[in-house]
Amino acid sequence: MSTKAEIDRASKLYQDFRERPPRRARRVEVTFPRAVMVMGRVDAVDYTTTHAGKVVRYRHDFAAGSKPLLCAGPDKNQLYLMEGRYHVTERGIVDLDARGREIDDGGGHRTINPKARKKPIHRKAKPRRR
C-alpha cells in the first residue's frame, strides 16, 4: 500500500472516530526493535480524546480472548500492543472473536469522566513512610 493510501485511511479513521476532519497531519517516526520483552496481557486501556470538540476519557476492557500483549523494546519510548484480537473503528477499540467477527459486548468501553479536564491535575506524591 502506498504512503498516500495509508495517510488517506488514517485520515478517514480519524474523522470517523473523532467526528471531525483532522486539521493537520503529523509524522511520527516509528522504529520497531527486532526483539521485545513481553510484560503481560493488557486487561484494559484508558485514554483521553476529543469527540466533536469535547474532551472525554474512555476505558476499554478487553474481552478474555482479545487481550493483546504489552511489550517493551530495549530503548526508551518503546511500548507496543501486539497480537490480540481487536480493531479500531469509529466506535473505538472493538474486540473480535476467534473467527474475526466483532464481539457484541456493549461496546467494551465506557466513559470514565465525561467532564475530563484539558490539562491534567498534577499532585505532589506523599512521602513514603519507612
pLDDT digits (tens, 9 = 90+) for 1-46: 778 888 888 889 888 888 888 888 787 888 889 999 999 999 999 9
Q: How many CB atoms lie within 10 A of CB 71?
A: 19
More confidently predicted of 20 and 124: 20
Grid cell listed for 37 = 520483552
Can you give the pLDDT at residue 32? 87
More confidently predicted of 94 and 25: 94
Q: What is the mean pLDDT of residues 68-93?
A: 92
Can you give the pLDDT at residue 113? 55
pLDDT band at 68 (very low <50, low <70, confident <90, very high): very high
Task: Return the DSSP state at 99.
Answer: T
Q: What is the mean pLDDT of residues 65-85?
A: 94
Counting DSSP H helices and E strands in the chain, the numbers are 1, 8
3-state secondary structure (DSSP) of residue 118: coil
Instruction: Work out the mean pLDDT of the chain and round it to a whole number.
Output: 82
| Alpha carbon distance 76, 10 (integer Å) | 26
pLDDT value at 116 more than 60:
no
Can you give the pLDDT at residue 99? 94
Q: Vertex 24, ends 33 and 113: CA angle to 5°?
A: 80
